[in-house]
Amino acid sequence: MEKIAIVGGGIIGLTLANLLPPEKFEITLYDEPTGQATKASAGIISPWLSKRRNKQWYQLAKAGAALLPKLAQDFQLDEAIYRQVGSLILQPEENLAALTELAETRKIDAPEIGDIHLLSNQETAEMLPLLKPQKSLFITGGARLDGLGYLNHLKKIATDIQFHNEKVQIKNPETLLTSHGPEQYDRIVLAVGPHLKELSAPLNYQVDIRPQKGQLIVFETNFTSEDWPVAMLAGESDLIPFNNGKILLGATHENDANWDLEPTNAAFHQLTEGAASFLIQPEKLFQFPHSQRVGTRAYTSDFAPFFGELPDGIIVASGLGSSGLTTGPMIANLLANFLNNHEKKWDSYQKSLINYLK
Ligand SMILES: Cc1cc2nc3c(=O)[nH]c(=O)nc-3n(C[C@H](O)[C@H](O)[C@H](O)COP(=O)(O)OP(=O)(O)OC[C@H]3O[C@@H](n4cnc5c(N)ncnc54)[C@H](O)[C@@H]3O)c2cc1C
């Protein structure tokens, strides 16, 4: 039995814990969830039309979006947690033809995009009745993932894993400092999002990672929203409908807020104003009771994630930024293959680790 400690119970930590075979690994997961990104996230899985030029990131995000339906089956996620409802992309009309062409090109090596339809004004409004009649692009492979629901489900099915709700520190590559004193492990995995810098400092690592505050609004409506697609509006205000009338509007990307977790009125106004011009009657949505969610993302200088094994044997994964629900499960899958089968098949998915961690 290999004794593994996973520090961090977000999407990477919990997916990894569930992918490792319990007959080979004795797993302990430590998580202190204040500010955790996964539980605060919006839930959009639709990376194919991103304008980002980083080829490795695209390969990783594409592979992550393709892996999720398989994980949904393996982990028996119900449709309230993960569902391919499709994504509607709303852009100025003159951009839609080029976007459709891009979707068709990307589909050649990403068939999971599904069907691609240019929708008329009427068809868009029928698909998501909160929207004004306007043209849009619809891709059927887009999905939504309820981050908190996913984590709760994974904790429930991980009966062989020991969970500790506490903040730990690292003493050396085999030892964690816990509330029960020092604990020894064969392997330590650090999946702590933006906290990697402070956590790895005692081992003299310098990490290119920063915290980014993200806020979104949760509206509790009486709409029958389960079948509605995700709507990716131009700007930061995307609409993510979940079951039971829950509609998310988000999210902000605040690089100067450090670790602040307070919801702000400025974010509420920014997000509602950003969405208003796409909605048929904004008050129809904004009148409902609402709350705000805040989380801290981790981002690197080139906004790309990094993961892998350090020379001292520690495993790290961080820097997932605003697409970590999409890339996180794939990173966990690659790390599980490494730990289980010693396969390091990640060169095409990221730049060398040395770019981010010295
Ligand atoms: C508002 C918002 C909206 C988002 N929307 C989307 C989206 O629509 N689509 C998408 O793909 N991505 C989205 N993301 C990004 C995505 O949520 C993150 O990239 C991803 O969840 C990061 O996962 P992680 O496991 O790396 O880190 P986290 O989920 O942050 O988990 C790390 C955990 O480690 C814990 N921890 C840290 N230090 C210690 C310690 N010393 N001891 C114990 N525990 C520790 C943390 O508290 C936390 O619980 C969004 C993020 C936010 C904030």
- pLDDT digit string (tens) for 319-358? 999 999 999 999 999 999 999 999 999 999 999 999 999 9
Q: Please write the tens of the pLDDT for every residue from 168-226.
A: 999 999 999 999 999 999 999 999 999 999 999 999 999 999 999 999 999 999 999 99
Is the CB of 300 within 6 Å of ligand 1?
no
Task: Read off the pLDDT band of 234 (50, 70, 90).
Answer: confident
pLDDT of residue 200: 97
Q: Please write the tens of the pLDDT for every residue from 140-166.
A: 999 999 999 999 999 999 999 999 999
Is the CB of 295 within 6 Å of ligand 1?
yes
Tell me what the mean pLDDT of segment 110-118 comes to: 97
Tell me what the mean pLDDT of segment 292-306 comes to: 97
d(CA 242, CA 144): 8
Ligand 1 atom nearest residue 166's Cα? 43
d(CA 300, CA 322): 11
pLDDT of residue 235: 86
Token code pair at residue 113: 């995009």
d(CA 253, CA 96): 25
Mean per-residue pLDDT over the chain, rounded: 97
pLDDT of residue 236: 87
Q: How far is CA 333 from CA 140, 142, 158, 242, 270, in A?
A: 24, 21, 16, 26, 36
For ligand 1, atom 22, name the residue with the nearest CA. 324
pLDDT at 53 over 90: no
pLDDT at 132 over 90: yes
d(CA 62, CA 45): 10
| Ligand 1 centroid, distance to 264 Cα (angstroms) | 20
Is the CB of 42 within 6 Å of ligand 1?
yes
For ligand 1, atom 33, name the residue with the nearest CA. 8
| Ligand 1 centroid, distance to 147 Cα (angstroms) | 9
pLDDT of residue 212: 98
Is the CB of 9 within 6 Å of ligand 1?
yes
Task: Read off the pLDDT band of 51 (50, 70, 90).
Answer: confident
Give CA 254 to chain center in angstroms. 17
d(CA 316, CA 45): 23
Tell me what the mean pLDDT of segment 301-329 comes to: 97
Angle at 259 between CA 254 and CA 260, to 5 degrees: 75
Domains, the chain, in order of start with CATH, read 2-38+149-209+301-355 (3.50.50.60), 84-143+210-299 (3.30.9.10)
pLDDT at 229 over 90: yes
Specify which residues 218 forms β-bridges with: 248, 291
Tell me what the mean pLDDT of segment 25-46 comes to: 98
Q: Do residues 325 and 147 make contact, with C-beta atoms less than 8 angstroms apart?
A: yes
Is the CB of 267 within 6 Å of ligand 1?
no
d(CA 138, CA 343): 37
